Amino acid sequence: MSKIIVFSKDGFEGRTAEFKNNVHNLEKKGFNQVISSIKVIGAPWVAYYDKNFTGKQRLFEEGEYAILEDKEKFSSLRMITDDLDDPEIQLFEHANYEGRTVTLSKETNLHNIDFSEVASSHKVKSGVWVLYEHNTS
Protein backbone atom coordinates (compact mmCIF):
# COMPACT_ATOMS: atom_id res chain seq x y z
CA MET A 1 0.00 0.00 0.00
CA SER A 2 1.25 3.48 -0.86
CA LYS A 3 1.78 6.03 1.87
CA ILE A 4 3.77 9.05 2.94
CA ILE A 5 5.35 9.43 6.37
CA VAL A 6 6.17 12.97 7.48
CA PHE A 7 8.44 14.16 10.28
CA SER A 8 8.70 17.52 12.02
CA LYS A 9 12.54 17.44 12.13
CA ASP A 10 15.40 16.58 9.79
CA GLY A 11 16.63 13.00 9.69
CA PHE A 12 13.22 11.42 10.39
CA GLU A 13 13.09 12.79 13.92
CA GLY A 14 10.43 14.65 15.90
CA ARG A 15 6.70 14.26 15.61
CA THR A 16 5.53 11.91 12.88
CA ALA A 17 2.37 11.13 10.94
CA GLU A 18 1.51 8.60 8.27
CA PHE A 19 -0.96 9.32 5.47
CA LYS A 20 -2.49 6.84 3.03
CA ASN A 21 -5.02 9.30 1.57
CA ASN A 22 -4.90 12.87 0.29
CA VAL A 23 -4.69 15.60 2.93
CA HIS A 24 -6.47 18.83 1.89
CA ASN A 25 -5.33 20.74 4.96
CA LEU A 26 -2.31 19.69 7.03
CA GLU A 27 -3.28 22.21 9.69
CA LYS A 28 -6.14 19.92 10.72
CA LYS A 29 -3.60 17.10 11.16
CA GLY A 30 -1.14 19.26 13.16
CA PHE A 31 1.48 19.29 10.39
CA ASN A 32 0.90 22.55 8.52
CA GLN A 33 4.25 24.07 7.53
CA VAL A 34 6.28 21.88 9.91
CA ILE A 35 7.42 18.99 7.69
CA SER A 36 11.21 18.67 7.63
CA SER A 37 11.74 15.11 6.36
CA ILE A 38 9.66 12.59 4.41
CA LYS A 39 9.51 8.89 3.52
CA VAL A 40 7.44 7.82 0.51
CA ILE A 41 6.45 4.20 0.03
CA GLY A 42 4.81 3.18 -3.26
CA ALA A 43 3.13 5.79 -5.45
CA PRO A 44 4.58 9.29 -5.75
CA TRP A 45 3.13 12.19 -3.74
CA VAL A 46 2.87 15.92 -4.41
CA ALA A 47 3.33 18.34 -1.52
CA TYR A 48 1.63 21.72 -2.01
CA TYR A 49 2.60 24.97 -0.31
CA ASP A 50 -1.07 25.93 0.11
CA LYS A 51 -4.21 24.17 1.33
CA ASN A 52 -6.50 22.28 -1.06
CA PHE A 53 -3.70 21.29 -3.45
CA THR A 54 -2.89 24.82 -4.62
CA GLY A 55 0.19 26.99 -4.83
CA LYS A 56 3.76 25.96 -5.46
CA GLN A 57 4.33 22.22 -5.34
CA ARG A 58 7.02 19.59 -5.07
CA LEU A 59 6.97 16.00 -6.29
CA PHE A 60 8.29 13.19 -4.07
CA GLU A 61 8.88 9.80 -5.68
CA GLU A 62 9.34 6.63 -3.64
CA GLY A 63 12.31 7.07 -1.33
CA GLU A 64 13.59 8.81 1.77
CA TYR A 65 14.15 12.56 2.04
CA ALA A 66 16.08 13.18 5.28
CA ILE A 67 16.56 16.92 4.71
CA LEU A 68 14.23 19.11 2.64
CA GLU A 69 15.45 22.33 1.03
CA ASP A 70 11.97 23.82 1.24
CA LYS A 71 11.12 22.41 4.66
CA GLU A 72 8.21 23.65 6.68
CA LYS A 73 6.32 25.04 3.71
CA PHE A 74 3.79 22.34 2.92
CA SER A 75 0.06 22.71 3.63
CA SER A 76 -1.51 19.81 1.67
CA LEU A 77 -0.50 16.41 0.28
CA ARG A 78 -1.85 14.44 -2.70
CA MET A 79 -1.00 10.90 -3.78
CA ILE A 80 -0.56 10.46 -7.51
CA THR A 81 -2.90 7.75 -8.68
CA ASP A 82 -3.00 8.52 -12.42
CA ASP A 83 -1.88 6.01 -14.99
CA LEU A 84 1.81 6.78 -15.42
CA ASP A 85 2.39 4.43 -18.36
CA ASP A 86 1.18 6.68 -21.19
CA PRO A 87 1.77 10.33 -20.21
CA GLU A 88 0.56 13.11 -22.49
CA ILE A 89 0.46 16.88 -22.17
CA GLN A 90 -0.64 19.54 -24.63
CA LEU A 91 1.08 22.93 -24.51
CA PHE A 92 -0.38 26.09 -26.01
CA GLU A 93 1.40 29.21 -27.18
CA HIS A 94 -1.16 31.59 -25.66
CA ALA A 95 -3.30 31.73 -22.54
CA ASN A 96 -6.76 30.14 -22.63
CA TYR A 97 -5.53 27.23 -24.80
CA GLU A 98 -5.02 29.30 -27.93
CA GLY A 99 -2.33 29.66 -30.58
CA ARG A 100 0.29 27.20 -31.72
CA THR A 101 0.20 23.87 -29.89
CA VAL A 102 2.46 20.88 -29.26
CA THR A 103 1.63 17.52 -27.67
CA LEU A 104 4.32 15.69 -25.69
CA SER A 105 4.53 12.13 -24.39
CA LYS A 106 7.96 12.21 -22.75
CA GLU A 107 10.27 14.56 -20.89
CA THR A 108 11.30 17.29 -23.30
CA ASN A 109 13.48 20.39 -23.14
CA LEU A 110 11.29 23.03 -24.78
CA HIS A 111 14.39 24.79 -26.14
CA ASN A 112 14.90 21.76 -28.40
CA ILE A 113 11.45 22.09 -30.01
CA ASP A 114 11.33 25.89 -30.27
CA PHE A 115 8.64 26.19 -27.58
CA SER A 116 10.69 27.64 -24.73
CA GLU A 117 9.51 31.02 -23.44
CA VAL A 118 6.36 30.44 -25.52
CA ALA A 119 4.11 28.01 -23.65
CA SER A 120 1.44 29.97 -21.78
CA SER A 121 -1.21 27.33 -21.02
CA HIS A 122 -1.42 23.55 -20.90
CA LYS A 123 -3.75 20.57 -20.58
CA VAL A 124 -2.60 17.34 -18.95
CA LYS A 125 -4.20 14.50 -20.89
CA SER A 126 -2.70 11.71 -18.75
CA GLY A 127 0.15 11.00 -16.40
CA VAL A 128 2.01 13.44 -14.20
CA TRP A 129 4.05 16.36 -15.48
CA VAL A 130 6.40 18.84 -13.84
CA LEU A 131 6.83 22.11 -15.71
CA TYR A 132 9.90 24.21 -14.97
CA GLU A 133 10.11 27.93 -15.54
CA HIS A 134 13.86 27.81 -16.17
CA ASN A 135 16.09 25.27 -17.90
CA THR A 136 17.27 22.77 -15.27
CA SER A 137 20.15 21.24 -17.23
Regarding whether 73 and 86 lie in a shared domain, the answer is: no
Residues 6+ apart with CB under 8 A from 83: 126, 127
Regarding whether 132 and 72 lie in a shared domain, the answer is: no
Whether 35 and 71 have beta carbons less than 8 Å apart is answered as yes
Range of the domain at 127: 82-137
From the list 107, 109, 110, the residue with the least C-alpha distance to 127 is 107
pLDDT tens digits, the chain, 137 residues: what are they?
899 999 999 999 999 999 999 999 999 999 999 999 999 999 899 999 999 998 888 999 999 999 998 777 899 999 988 666 778 889 999 989 999 999 998 888 888 888 888 888 888 877 777 787 766 55
The pLDDT value given to residue 51: 94
Q: Total structural domains in the chain?
A: 2
pTM above 0.85, yes or no: no
From the list 83, 80, 81, 75, the residue with the least C-alpha distance to 23 is 75
* Domain end residue (candidates: 79, 95, 117): 79
Regarding whether 49 and 65 lie in a shared domain, the answer is: yes
Regarding whether 91 and 25 lie in a shared domain, the answer is: no
The pLDDT value given to residue 83: 63
**Helix (H/G/I), strand (E/B), else coil: 117:** coil
